[in-house]
Structure formats: structure tokens, C-alpha cells
């Protein structure tokens, strides 16, 4: 079986200006976009590594978070966790 990783190195190997960033960081994303604007003459790729449910441990720590239903009482917990994390 072939794996998709290392994604950033693969884009780079094909001549793309490639950046790998923490996709949960707005600061990292804005910085990557600013850097990409400075590059000319080649295509650009920003590879964002993210954590599902970042900031809400109830969701972060759940396996297969994309496919697990969040119950109404869990939404209340997740919202509280996000608010306490001071986004």
C-alpha cells in the first residue's frame, strides 16, 4: 500500500514552492500565505497539518472524530472547553 506522506516533500519534488504548517494556527496560516505571495515563477502549496477538534479535549481525544456523533450535552462541554481555552 502506498502512503500519502511525506506530502510536502512530494510537492517540492515536483517543483512547487511548498510550506508545511500547523493548520490549527491562524498565525502560521497567515504567515504562509504572506510568504507564498512573495514567490513567483512556480506553483505554490501549503500543507496544513491539523488536529480535529483542536481546543476541545472532548473532541480532540476521540478516535475517528470525523465520524462520531456529538451528542447535545457534549456540545455544551466542547463549547465550554473552547471558551476556557481563550481562543
Say how many C-beta atoms besides its own lie within 10 A of residue 19's C-beta. 21
CB 48 within 8 Å of CB 36: no
User: Does the N-terminal peptide bond of residue 55 adopt cis geometry, omega within 30 degrees of 0?
Assistant: no
pLDDT (tens digit, 9 = 90+) per residue, 10-48? 999 999 999 999 999 999 999 999 999 999 999 999 999
Q: Tell me what pLDDT residue 1 has.
A: 67
Is the entire prediction scored with pTM above 0.95? no
Cα distance between residue 79 and residue 82, in whole Å: 5
Q: Where are the domains of the chain?
A: 1-50, 52-87
Amino acid at each position: 500500500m502506498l502512503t500519502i506522506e511525506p506530502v510536502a516533500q512530494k510537492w517540492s519534488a515536483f517543483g512547487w514552492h511548498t510550506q508545511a504548517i500547523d493548520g490549527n494556527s491562524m498565525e502560521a496560516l497567515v504567515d504562509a500565505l504572506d510568504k507564498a505571495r512573495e514567490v513567483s515563477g512556480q506553483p505554490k502549496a501549503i500543507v496544513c497539518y491539523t488536529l480535529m477538534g483542536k481546543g476541545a479535549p472532548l473532541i480532540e481525544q476521540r478516535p475517528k472524530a470525523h465520524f462520531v456523533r456529538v451528542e447535545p450535552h457534549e456540545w455544551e462541554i466542547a463549547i465550554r472547553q473552547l471558551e476556557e481555552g481563550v481562543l
